[in-house]
Amino acid sequence: MVDKLSTLIFLLQQLVQLLAQGPTAPIVPLPVNLNVQHSVLDKVPIITRVEPKSGPAETAVTIYGEGFSRERNVIYTGLGQVTVSSPDGKKLSFTLPKSSLFSDEWRANTADYRREHYSNQSINFPLGFYVKNEYGTTIKPGLFSLTI
C-alpha cells in the first residue's frame, strides 16, 4: 500500500513539473465556423484574472473576464465542473469543489510520507479553469494553485 502511494505521489510530482513547463507541442488554432454571426464570435468567453490565485478545496473563487452568460456558464476546474450564472457577463463566483483525489482518507494515509518529504510546507497543484457557455469555450485558462 505504501509503495503504491509513493508511486502515485511521485507520478503526481512529475505531472506537476510537466505542467509547469508549459506546452511542448505547437498550439494549433481552433477552426472557426465562418457561417456564425460575427456578434456571437465577439462574445466567446475570455478569462482575464482569477482571485484568489491559490487556496485549498472549497475556496470561494471569482473569475473575471468577458463573454460570460447570464444564465449558464460551466466552469471546468480540474476538480470537477460547476455551473453558475453571471449578473453582468464579467464575473463568475463559485466554490472550488472538494476533490475525492485529496480526500480526508488520502490525507490520513499519506500524512507520514508528506511530513517526511515536505515537512509542514503545503503542496501546490496547478489547475486551469475553463468556461463554456452558449458563446463558446475559453481558449486560455484562468490559473489557480490548489494547496493541499
State the pLDDT at residue 139.
92
> Which residue segment(s) compose the domain that 127 sits in?
2-21+44-147
Domain count, the chain: 1
Summarize the confidence of residues 12-34 as an average pLDDT. 59
State the pLDDT at residue 77.
93
Summarize the confidence of residues 135-140 as an average pLDDT. 94
24 band by pLDDT with thresholds 50, 70 and 90: low
Domain containing residue 9: CATH number: 2.60.40.10
Residue 68 lies in a domain: yes
Residue 14 lies in a domain: yes
Residue 119 lies in a domain: yes
Tens digit of pLDDT for each residue in 56-108? 889 999 999 999 999 999 999 988 899 999 999 999 999 999 877 777 777 77
Residue 124 lies in a domain: yes
Residue 27 lies in a domain: no
Residue 137 lies in a domain: yes
What is the C-alpha to C-alpha distance for residues 147 and 21, in angstroms, rounded to an integer? 19
The pTM of this model reads: 0.66
Residue 61 lies in a domain: yes
Which has more pLDDT, 42 or 57?
A: 57
Question: Which residues lie below 8 Å from residue 63, measured CB to CB, with a gap of 6+?
Answer: 47, 49, 50, 75, 91, 92, 93, 94, 129, 131, 142
Residue 30 lies in a domain: no
Which has more pLDDT, 121 or 30?
A: 121
What is the C-alpha to C-alpha distance for residues 19 and 145, in angstroms, rounded to an integer? 12
